[in-house]
Structure 1
């Protein structure tokens, strides 16, 4: 597919696949097109050529319509309601709190606390709990690790890996390639809106130095 904003093309001739039960990492420097890829797949950015397919069929419609089919999108800004409690945030997405709390027991003692009073890591756990619980079939996650301590990042990525092991498909955008490849099955490297490298994560883990030097250096947006 190709996609962009108005007359500004961002993605060109992109082909990628996410299967059920796997984590696929999407890595690249700032401005490579990672976030635009997620937004195009979610129906938030127009696809100008090619198409998005889900279960082998063309997938059109808004983000809300795609969400009814099992898509969840996590953006960099953490889609939670800061003025509401943790419990109320969970209830907006799920009738029962049992499943999200089973995924992140750390949230149980925080249920009555307003989200705006949580740490960044706790807010991201809440965001991920809302996204992973329920009938989610495909998760698109943008920079889960942004601004968080390594121990929290590890906790979040383990939850993503466990969700894939239960059958969910995950497309994970990460600027930190080591974090991404630690939990991924496969990976794509983007540069200026094109896939320039792809392969099994186990193979790419042995080429991290080369990938960082060749593809992940800062580039103009």
Structure 2
């Protein structure tokens, strides 16, 4: 009598394990979004854009994060589609074990991270972890690859942010020089520079240029 009961309980147990794994994945999804996707670079550049214009609270954080989420979705749509077709759906239907799902799921994410990671950053993480020198990318563990990817994303975000800052800095310098020449030293330059920066950003279709550059910066 015990054998049939065990055989009957096995599918229920497997379904419970899949539900627990799914809920756990949802719980750590924000950390995975920041560490393993294009979200970090995009949200940093958009935040730096606000400071470059001179409006640190506009657009609000909710708008910046929402825009960054959708840009991340557009950028990583092939990777996400592969994950869903080859890992999530087979695992939730019970056709894939946890170990196999991890292997299949990590492969497209690793390929994406490797394309964005600089060799210098990867070598630095391998050196800091005191791991054996890898012969190929297959020998590089996620412990070294993920922080190297994050470091490369930070560098790329600051490089793009620097380019974004330059035209707005030029406007600030011109406005300050003109006010000094007119003897209007008591007037804050930001009072005049802010509307000029907003006007320039609108005239050059700045949002389209920034978003196009961000999406195009990923390999």
> Same fold per TM (> 0.5)?
no
TM bracket (short chain): under 0.3
Whose strand fraction is larger, Structure 1's or Structure 2's?
1
Whose helix fraction is larger, Structure 1's or Structure 2's?
2
Q: Which of structures 1 and 2 has the larger relative contact order (alpha carbons within 8 angstroms, sep 6+)?
A: 1
Q: Output the TM-score relative to the length of structure 1.
A: 0.24
Q: Which has the larger radius of gyration?
A: 2
